[in-house]
Chains A and B, each alone.
Chain A
Amino acid sequence: MDEEMEVNQNVKKVMFVMRKAPHGSIYSYEGLETVLITAAYEQDMTMVFVGDGVFALVKGQDTTEIGIKGFIKTYGALEHYDVEKIYVDRVSMEERGLTVDDFAIDVEVKEAEEIAALMEEQHATIPY
């Protein structure tokens, strides 16, 4: 077995399920940081935004007056780490009056059944 094949066998499918709004707790930011760290190990990454998690992606967030560093720009780094499977739950988005045009990055909108099928095929799903 050559070295490259060994490396490929170590690639795991990992899905991060993002369910928290961005600034009310540390989850959302920590989740994004963890995705970037994990992606640096060249794993097969998926991010799915469900519930209030979708608020994290809304463009135009300005945190200067709440005294914390915003991280909406950090989402722009995902593509440079080859994290390209970024999905939003359609119902969560619509319940919150949002459309894909409201998001700071390109996402793919998925139905619950599609998200369920993706979850089932992961080696690990990480809640944030």
Chain B
Amino acid sequence: MKKVMTGNEAAGIAAKLARVQVVSAYPITPQTTIVENLSDMIGRKELRARYMPMESEHSAMAGVIGASLAGARAFTATSSHGLVYMHEMLHYAAGARVPVVMVNCNRALSPPWNLYCDHTDSLAQRDTGWCQYYCADAQEVLDAILIAYSVAEQALLPVMINMDAFYLTHTSELVDVPNQEAVDTFLPPYTPSNKVDVDDPKTFGNVCGADLFASIKYRRHWHTLLLEKLWDSTAIKFADHFNRLHPTVEAYRTEDADVCVVGIGTAGGAMRLAVDRLRKEGLNAGSLRLAMMRPFPRVRFEKAISTVRHLIVIDRDVSFGAEGILAQEMKAFLFDRHADVKFTGFIAGVGGKDISAETTAGLVRQALFGNGTAVEAGTSFWTDVLL
């Protein structure tokens, strides 16, 4: 059934369709309507689950970890400072191999206070061991949460579904809501092989010597690398059921592209429009939206850039003293593989500034021809800076 709804409403409906059994959360703008809606669905018994109104995000993540260890399907949502406050427990969740799914509403970090879109919050969690997926629209938010539970429960690793603050969280769009029976077929109940159980007592996270420690981490690293293929195969299965495909990388007109602009989140739409304009100007342009950021989608990324001579990345984030985080990720991938590819990194749209098609086209022109308003800082160029 098609309905007009915000990304946050889509997230709550997806959690309900996934039949989550425990929701453990703490409110933060702009995530609030997700957990408000879920608490109401649970209160009205439309969703048979426990709602745990935790006293902090650290405890919210601890709560879903506990519930998942006990064998329940668990969900939480947060944003910005909440996500950063969870940092310790994010490491714990991945290490404990709990298949929890969390929605993060990408919002800037203070100071100064700012409620708007910025990807530094989640990208700064890239080393915690979570699978990270970034959505482009409300439909993708709904669908990705369902795919995420399937992926998480196959891999026994947690998945973070990211959506841009306000661009997605509070903007209404037409969303096709699948029916419960179809979702139940795609996503059967969670039946863990390993859980905290008095009839089969085990230790979880006990002290461990260096020999076994390395082996445990090595296995986890491999399982995390495999998430790229697992997501894509699960997404194809999802498409078989629902006729919508959500791959790890969304490529647009890259088949013959010489120049390719790369970004994440809602900027994908503007990037496609910019590509069309640049093509009219005679440039062989293409665009890539990285939906998956952890693990880095090596296979699809490499395939998509096979003809590209110049990669232009737009980071809505920064690693201070280095450069944009996407830029670092891509350079790390390109090193020793595509040393001949030219690379330009921009930092744009931080703190909610719109990244329009015109902005994007302008950045591509600046990267190619040198004239533009973005100012240099180390190896990257910043837009919208007052000097």
Q: Do A and B come from one complex?
A: no
Q: Which residues from chain A sit less than 8 Å from chain B, CB to CB? A: none
